[in-house]
Chain A
Amino acid sequence: MIQPASSLVVRGLGKRYGDHLALEDLDLDLPGSTLLAVVGSNGAGKSTLLGSLAGVLRHDGTATLDGRPIRPGDGRTTYLPQGLRLPAAATVADVLGLLRALAGGMPDRVPLPQDFVPEGSRRIGELSGGQAQRVALAGALMGAPDLVLLDEPLANLDDEARATATNLFRAHREAGAIVLVASPAAHDVLAAADLAARIDNGRLATLGPAAAFLASLGHAIRSEGAA
């Protein structure tokens, strides 16, 4: 079902770790139904941006969704942290059951493809890194979130799973959600994204069409090859 599109407005977002300024005075306006690839080198501030928007990092500045401050727990925001390791003793069904309950038991706006996650009875500790990442991703996409924050969601996934995951991001975008996907090597995501935001030293360096950004990357790669 298509939901009314939301809008994300970020003003003066900043985050400091001791003396290190991880994010500085970042402004961002995104309309609903947007898939944004957040790119940048390691340590640029991508994860800090997503963590701040998710409300799990204390930060300066404001972030609103449809004019209201983003509030964890209202069922509108979901977050997949970078390098998430689910509890090894839990089963797939335990994890998905918990995250379903935390999503308010709402039906999924975008159903998962069959066989995307391993059998429910299997323990997380028995799964490969890619299988565990599928479970984490499935849990993060549960319910009907309007703001989907995914930090390196394609890590450890095989080609088939990356394609499926990218299609899921698209489907959430088409259903009205704002999807932010952070990745240091974002070719897969850029190909599906509407916009790309490049973070550099905690600042928003560029924000523009993902296709143009992808083309510039290809140009840079070809130039390096020729040299």
Chain B
Amino acid sequence: MIGVRLPTVLRPFAGGAERVEVEARSVAEAFAALDAPLRRRLTDEQGAIRRHVNIYLGDDNIRDLDGLGTPLDDGDELLILPSVAGG
């Protein structure tokens, strides 16, 4: 199982959960396994990760790995964080 840890603002889209678990072998598969209202807030309708959303695997931003294609192993944890943006 893959753990996906959510920031407070996204928890209403996961039934209030701080962390959800999905079966996946890549970040793309992990996102595909999320409930649609949560998934849509992380990726746009073409499947691209939203510009100001950061997803970390350990200390690495997946943009610095293989993006949505980044492979995952059982027990991995993804951390979703909003970037520092806006005013």
Partners in one complex: no
